[in-house]
């Protein structure tokens, strides 16, 4: 069995007022798996916890790790919200983004994640999730991350999908699928969230998927979901605008030829007044 590790940290209130805050409500300062030989990067998603009229929103991520030689390195989150002119408006859709890095590891390195909003005078804090991707020796094929660098998913021959509606913060199954014995590899996952009811003011939808499977030894596998910002006042106008959600790295390879279940679970940072629809797609390779 070969695979990637991905372990997340979440925080429901960081980055207000241009200040970098540690992402540490759940699993703050993280340690890479002891078997890690490469730090492959991180996946990030988040949302302001409230929307203010005439105020834009975006942010940046800072990583620090002595073992990985990350000395307060900073990246801009590739999603943003322009300032609105209304006092009543729908929320916005912030997709997850994978930042591909290539850093040698020896196992067990500590890494600290921080977030700060940026624009002239941000009012609201953010709710965010970050997942650190790392791999053991032989964790993924040598060319695996070339696809992600090109903004795509590796070539594959099959796939599957499931979905359900969720509103609670309780760890909730997304529904299981079966990887048939004919397929030996899972090469990627596309997480999705759809606003399934009119949004609520000051209520963001942020969270991640936790992967489990009968093929065994796939944890930790934490995949940030797309985030949806709160509405502003009572929503008017059109629906929440969709933004393309890219495929995310999640890799597992097995030698057996047995049908096995894969079952992801959704973990939200805050409860929703009305349930949204959450789903995932998996890419299989023979």
**Cβ distance 50 to 124 under 8 Å?**
yes
Residue 120 has pLDDT above 70, yes or no: no
Start-to-end CA distance of the chain, whole Å, equals 15
What is the value of pTM for the model shown?
Answer: 0.90
SS3 content of the chain, % helix, strand, coil (to 5): 5, 50, 50
Chain centroid to CA 190: 10
Q: What would the two tokens of residue 183 be?
A: 């397929």
- pLDDT tens per residue across span 192-214: 998 877 777 778 889 999 988 87
223-273 pLDDT, tens digit per residue, is 999 998 877 767 666 666 666 788 999 998 888 888 888 899 999 988 888
Give me the half-sphere count of Cα atoms (radius 13 Å) on the Cβ side of residue 279.
Answer: 10
Determine whether 265 is exposed, middle or buried from the number of CB atoms within 10 Å of its CB (0-12, 13-18, 19+): middle
Q: Which helix (H) or strand (E) holds 283?
A: strand 276-285
Tally of CB atoms within 10 A around 110:
13
Q: Mean pLDDT lowest for which of 7-16, 19-28, 67-76, 270-279?
A: 19-28
Which domain does 59 fall in, by range? 2-285
**CA distances to 93, 128, 201, 218 from 193, in Å:** 9, 15, 18, 23
pLDDT at position 237: 62
Number of domains the chain contains: 1
d(CA 39, CA 105): 6
């Amino acid at each position: 069995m070969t695979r990637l590790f991905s372990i997340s940290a979440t925080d429901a209130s960081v980055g207000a007022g241009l200040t970098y805050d540690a992402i540490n409500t759940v699993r703050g300062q993280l340690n890479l798996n002891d078997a890690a030989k490469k730090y492959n990067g991180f996946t990030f998603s988040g949302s302001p916890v409230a929307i203010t009229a005439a105020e834009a929103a975006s942010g940046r991520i800072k990583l620090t790790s002595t073992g990985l030689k990350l000395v307060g390195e900073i990246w801009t989150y590739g999603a943003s919200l322009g300032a609105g002119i209304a006092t009543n408006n729908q929320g916005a859709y912030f997709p997850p983004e994978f930042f591909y890095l290539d850093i040698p590891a020896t196992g067990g390195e500590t890494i600290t994640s921080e977030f700060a909003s940026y624009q002239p005078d941000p009012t609201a804090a953010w709710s965010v999730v970050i997942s650190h991707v790392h791999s053991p020796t032989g964790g993924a094929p040598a060319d695996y991350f070339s696809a992600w660098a090109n903004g795509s998913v590796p070539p594959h021959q099959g796939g599957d999908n499931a979905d359900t509606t969720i509103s609670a913060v309780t760890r909730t199954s997304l529904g299981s699928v079966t990887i048939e014995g004919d397929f030996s590899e899972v090469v990627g996952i596309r997480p999705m969230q759809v606003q399934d009811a009119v949004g609520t003011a000051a209520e963001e939808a942020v969270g991640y998927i936790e992967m489990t499977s009968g093929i065994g030894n796939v944890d930790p596998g934490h995949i940030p979901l797309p985030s949806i910002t709160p509405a502003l006042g009572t929503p008017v106008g059109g629906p929440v605008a969709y933004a393309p959600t890219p495929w995310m790295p999640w890799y597992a390879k097995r030698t057996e030829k047995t049908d096995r279940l894969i079952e992801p679970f959704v973990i939200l940072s805050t409860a929703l007044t009305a349930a949204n629809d959450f789903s995932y797609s998996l890419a299989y390779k023979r």
